[in-house]
Amino acid sequence: MAELTAVVGIGQTKYEAKRDDLSMPGLVREAAERALADAGCSWADIDAVILGKAPDLFEGVMMPELFLNDALGGAYKPMLRVHTAGSVGGSTAIVAASMVQAGIHDRVLCVAYEKQSESNAIWALSISVPFSLATVAGAGGYFAPLVRGYIRRSGAPEDTGIRVAVKDRQNALRNPLAHLHLEDISFDLVANSPMLWDPIRYLETCPSSDGACALVMEKESLASRRPDKVAWIHATEMRSEPTMFSGRDQVMPRATLDNAKNLYRKAGITNPRREIDCAEIYVPFSWFEPMWMEGMLITERNQGWKMTYEGATAMDGDFPVNMSGGVLSSNPIGASGLIRFAEAARQVRGRADQHQVDGARKALGHAYGGGSQYFSTWIVSSEKP
């Protein structure tokens, strides 16, 4: 039987377009120090460090875990790098948790980051493979045709994405760490913003952010002694599939559906919409909220847009999504998945401040990446399973 594991410390940097006050080591250090302070731990209390970030090509630093090791107190300790494209933040949390669940370590530090101001993500994501033609401009260029496919398939009203974009930016106004604080956010502002990758508008896309996020996790015998609420990890799940194969459903990949089924089975959840109190879902382009509401089996196929439309995913809805403002409001790519996992944990610890969902006891953290092919999720709760 695996060791029950809990998140006992959470640290995040302020997310900004350009953190030129900090180097990359300084950035990860800031998040890690905050997580340690939150957990009441010192560097010496950490047994191992697990680090995640998006492709090395972004900042042009190969194997950055080597040069970040010192800043993260990793000397003479086990350190492991995780990399699963955009979902990496989620996968990093899962790998870190597994170190404790497997009984290998008692307490681990898990960190993920991106310094987009020192990188060129669109370039890094548009590299031409030899003997093939480069036509896809960045992630938006890849996902826009899939969003069009979803709209055609579901019959969703064309303004669904605009509504998601407004809702997430309104939520971000309650989160002081969020990169975007658009005080004047409105339906018209989003609707009138330039069309970048038709049907995706400028304000329906995520920003480009610098930032880092860190978690401290520990085993049950340690976490149980704490006076403060911790976030107990009920289940984790990771699934992937190839980018391209004949008949692949790119809009609703099998990997997301398998991921959701297995996650809920492990967590003993039979009715996810009712049993989960809130969720932080990886939504880098607005339309992925309704798409992943279906992909995570929160609602029926082709019905996800109705949750957005009916306000179910708003702060006061029956299934709040992205209370923190989500990826649409802060996107340090490598950290974005871990932020979702961390924000889910904040909710069940009752420590989400202005964007706290009242009485949240069970929350879902979610990340996806690549060509909608990597999926990482977890369920955390204020109660032990």
Using rule CB under 8 A, residue 353 touches other proteins: no
Using rule CB under 8 A, residue 333 touches other proteins: no
For other proteins, the closer of residues 51 and 146 by Cβ is: 146
Q: The tokens of 91 are what?
A: 């996968």
In whole angstroms, the minimum distance from the beta carbon of 125 to other proteins comes to 9
The DSSP code sequence of 286-341 is: TTHHHHHHHHTTSS-TT-HHHHHHTTTTSTTSSS-B-TT--TTT---HHHHHHHHH
Using rule CB under 8 A, residue 132 touches other proteins: yes
Using rule CB under 8 A, residue 271 touches other proteins: no
Using rule CB under 8 A, residue 146 touches other proteins: yes
Using rule CB under 8 A, residue 221 touches other proteins: no
What mask of x and - would describe binding to other proteins in positions 228 to 247, judged by CB under 8 A?
--------------xxxxxx
Using rule CB under 8 A, residue 137 touches other proteins: yes
Using rule CB under 8 A, residue 63 touches other proteins: no
The DSSP code sequence of 211-270 is: EEEEEEEEEHHHHTT-SS--EEEEEEEEEE--S--TT--SSS-HHHHHHHHHHHHHHT-S
Exposure of 191 in the CB half-sphere (CA atoms within 13 A): 7
Instruction: In whole angstroms, give the CA distance from residue 288 to residue 119.
Output: 25
- Of 7, 51, 196, 307, the residue at the interface with other proteins (CB under 8 A) is 196
- Of 15, 58, 113, 197, the residue at the interface with other proteins (CB under 8 A) is 197
- Of 54, 72, 162, 251, the residue at the interface with other proteins (CB under 8 A) is 251
**With contact defined as beta carbons under 8 Å apart, do 312 and 318 qualify?**
yes
Using rule CB under 8 A, residue 136 touches other proteins: yes
Q: Contacts with other proteins: how many residues (CB under 8 A)? A: 44
Using rule CB under 8 A, residue 191 touches other proteins: no
Q: How many residues does the chain have?
A: 385
Buried-exposed string 313-329: b where 16+ CB fall within 10 A, e elsewhere = bbbebebbbbbbbbbbb
Of the candidates 279, 267, 223, 228, the residue with the CA atom closest to the CA atom of residue 6:
223
Using rule CB under 8 A, residue 128 touches other proteins: yes
Of the candidates 163, 215, 155, the residue with the CA atom closest to the CA atom of residue 190:
163
- Of 45, 69, 106, 126, the residue at the interface with other proteins (CB under 8 A) is 126
Using rule CB under 8 A, residue 250 touches other proteins: yes
Which chain residues interact with other proteins by CB under 8 A? Answer: 20, 60, 118, 120, 122-123, 126-128, 130-138, 140-141, 144-146, 148-149, 152-153, 194-200, 242-251
